[in-house]
Amino acid sequence: MDASPFAKLPDELLEAIILYLGPTSTTSFALACRRSSQIAHEPQVWHRHCLAEYRYWQPHHDLKEKLSLPPAQTPWRQLFAQRRRIDAEAADLFEALLLTQQERYARMERIANWGYDVKDLLLGIVDGTPDDAEDVLARRYHANAILGSIHRMTAVEKWMRLQRQQMVRLEEVLGAYDLFVLAGRRGDLSDIDREFDRIAENIRLRDPDFDQLSVRRKAEQIAKYLRSEKLVGNPNEENYHALRNNFISMALFEEPHTSLPLQSVAIYCAIARRLGVNARPSNYPHHVHAVIEAPSTHTLDGKPRPITHPPRPDNDDQPPDETEVMHMDPWRSSTETPRSDLLTRLIQMGIPASHHQHCLAATSNLEIALRTGRNLMNSVSEARDLAHTGVPNPSTSPPVPDIDAAWYSMLWSMFILGESSAASALHRRRQILPYLIEHYQAHFPEDLGLIERIVPPLLEGQREWHVLLHLITTARKADRNKRAPYYRRAGIRERVDGDVEEGLEKGDGESSSASASSSPAPGPQNPVPPPTGSGGRVRGRSDDAGGGGGVDGVVDSAAVTWKIGTYFRHKRYRYAGIVIGWDTSCGAEPAWIEQMRVDDLPRGRHQPFFNV
C-alpha cells in the first residue's frame, strides 16, 4: 500500500499542484507515490512544459500539427527529454569552444546543426549572462554568431527549395533576407507568420461582416486597415532606398513601419491570402503592385459566374475582364488602381505594347526574390555613402540593419537563384563566387559548413570546384591546429591613439587616418575612411602623442594611448567606433598602403595602427 502523504489527496488536488511545478520539480513529484507518478507522466503535463520552456522548434518536429492533435497522441515527455539532451550537449560544446580556439568553428558548426532546437539555449546565453561575468563578451559574441549561422542556413534552404521549384511562400522567400540581419531580435519567419495571422484576425474583428464582402471590397478593406496602422508605405520618400525598407520584419516590428513598394505588396498579399483573397505581386517595372484575381465561381464584385464560363489559359495575352482582375497599390493608396492608369504609365516609360500584359500580370516568387536582391544592392551602396557623411544618433535614429550581413544576403541569393538555363546559372555563379567567398572569409568564418554543403555541389565539374575543396580543407586544418601564441613585448599597453572627442583626450598630432571596413563591396577595397556601420574593422594610425615608435617591432608605451574598448567619435570623419585592437605597424596590403598614401604620413607605416 502506498504510504506517501500524497496518496491521501484527491486527484484534482494533485493535478492542481502539478500546474505550479517546473520540469525538474515535476520529475521529483513523480517519485512521491504511484498516483503522483501517474499524474506527472500525463502527456498534457509535458505538453505544457514543452511550450513553456521552448519557443523555437526545428521544422521536422511539425509542431503545428502536433498542437492540433489531442495531447495523448504525441509523446510530449519523450520530446521534452530529447530537447533537454540537446541543450546539455550543446551547452558542453559551447563551454569547450570558449576555452580554446582549437576546433572552435567545428564546435560552432556542430551546435548550429541542431538548428532551431538550440535557439532558446543560445538566446538564454545572450540575454542571461550577467554583465559582470568574466567572459560576458565572449559568451554573447559566440552565441550570437551561432544564432546568425542557424538563421542563414534556414534562409539558404528556403532559396534552394525555391530554385528547385518547390513550394515556398512569398513571405518565406522575402523573410529569408531578414534572417541574415536578424541578430537575435524579433523577426524570425515564425514571428512574421504569427504577426500576419494576428493582423488578419484583427481585420476580421474590426469588420464582423468581412467574410460576406465581395473580393473587390475585401481587397480595399485590407489595404485600408494596413495603411491606417501605418504597416505599409513610407511617408518620408527621401529615405526611399533606406536599407531597412528592404526587410519585411522591420516594416512589421520596428518603428517607423516603412518599406519599399515590393515589401508593402508582399505584406498585403500575405495577409490577403489569410483572408481568402488571391493576391500576388505584379511584374510592373519600378513599382510593384498587387494583382487580385477573382475566384472561379464569382466575379470580383461577388456575382456568380455562369457554369459555362471558360477558364483563362495561362498563355492568354488578351487583357482580362475587369470583373476578373484588379490592381492595388497599398504603398500609395487604399483604393483600387485603375488599369488605364497603369497602361498610361507604361506608355510614358516607353514599354512596347506587346509587353504591357506581362507587366500587369502576376509574377513568380523567384522573380520577386531576385528583384529584392537588386534593390538590396542599391540600398547597400546608398547606406555606405550615407555612412561616410556622419553617424546618426542611435538613440533617435530608427534601427539600421547590419550592412555586411545585408550584402551577404544579396550575394547568397544571387548565387543560388536565377535563370533556369544551366549555362546562364553557371555563368552567374562563377561571377558571384569570388565576392561570396571573400565576404564569408572576412565577416562570417563560422559559415564554413554552410559553404561546404551548398557551394561545391553547384559548381561540380568546374575548375572552381577544386579551388573550393582546397579552401575548405585549408580552413578545416587551420581550425584543427593549435594556434601559435602571440606575445606582446614588455612595456606595451593595449592602448591606441587617435583624433577623437566625446570624453577622450585629443592627441597632439593631426587627425588619424583610417581605412574602410574590411569588405565594403565586391571589387577593390574602398578607401573611404569611416566604417559602414556594419561592425567591420577600420584601421587608423596612432598620433604622435608624446613619443615615437619603437624599433624592430617594439612600440613605446607612450605611442599607444587609448584603451581597447574605448568608445569614440572621430573628429574629422564624424564616425563613431570602439577600439578593439592595435598593431605595431601598418599590416595592410601594399596596394591599399599606396592607395591611402600611408607612407606620406609622419613616420609612414612604421607606427602603431588601431582597429575599430
Tens digit of pLDDT for each residue in 360-414?
A: 999 999 999 999 999 999 999 888 877 666 555 454 566 788 999 999 999 999 9
pLDDT score, position 392: 54
Residue-wise pLDDT tens digits, 160-219: 999 999 999 999 999 999 999 986 567 899 999 999 999 999 999 999 999 999 999 999
Q: Which amino acid makes up residue 265?
A: V
- Give the chain's mean pLDDT: 83
Mean pLDDT on 215-224: 96
Percent of the chain with pLDDT over 90: 56
Residue-wise pLDDT tens digits, 496-529: 344 444 433 333 333 333 333 333 333 333 333 4
pLDDT score, position 370: 95
Cell numbers at 262, concatenated? 515590393
| Helices 119-128 and 76-99: angle between axes, nearest 10 degrees | 50
Strand pairing partners for 298?
Answer: 304
Q: Which amino acid makes up residue 307?
A: I
Residue 563, SS3 per DSSP: strand
What's the Rg (C-alpha) of the chain? Answer: 29
Query: Which helix (DSSP H) or strand (DSSP E) does residue 462 occupy?
Result: none
Predicted confidence band at 296 (pLDDT cuts at 50, 70, 90)? confident
Q: What are the residue ranges spanned by the domains of the chain? A: 42-167, 189-305+318-366, 419-484, 486-612
pLDDT score, position 587: 77
Residue-wise pLDDT tens digits, 414-450: 999 987 788 888 999 999 999 999 999 999 999 999 9
Alpha helices of 129-247 — where are they, by DSSP H?
A: 136-163, 170-180, 189-206, 215-228
Cell numbers at 245, concatenated? 525598407
Cell numbers at 20, concatenated? 505550479
How big is the CA angle at 306 (ends 303 and 309), to the nearest 5 degrees?
Answer: 115
What is 285-347 written as a DSSP string? Answer: SSS--EEEE--SSB-TTSPBPPTTPPPPPTT--SPPPTTTEEEE-TTT-SSEEPHHHHHHHHH
Report the Cα 607 to chain-centroid distance in Å: 39
Q: In this predicted structure, which of 103-107, 303-307, 420-424, 573-577 has the lowest mean pLDDT?
A: 573-577
| Among the listed residues 225, 213, 340, the one whose alpha carbon sits nearest the alpha carbon of residue 271 | 225
Query: Which helix (DSSP H) or strand (DSSP E) does residue 77 occupy?
Result: helix 76-99
CA-CA-CA-CA torsion sign (87, 88, 93, 94):
positive
Neighbours of 491 (CB within 10 A): 10
| The pLDDT of residue 478 is above 50 | yes
Q: Which amino acid makes up residue 60?
A: H
Contact indicator for 184, 482 with CB cutoff of 8 Å: no
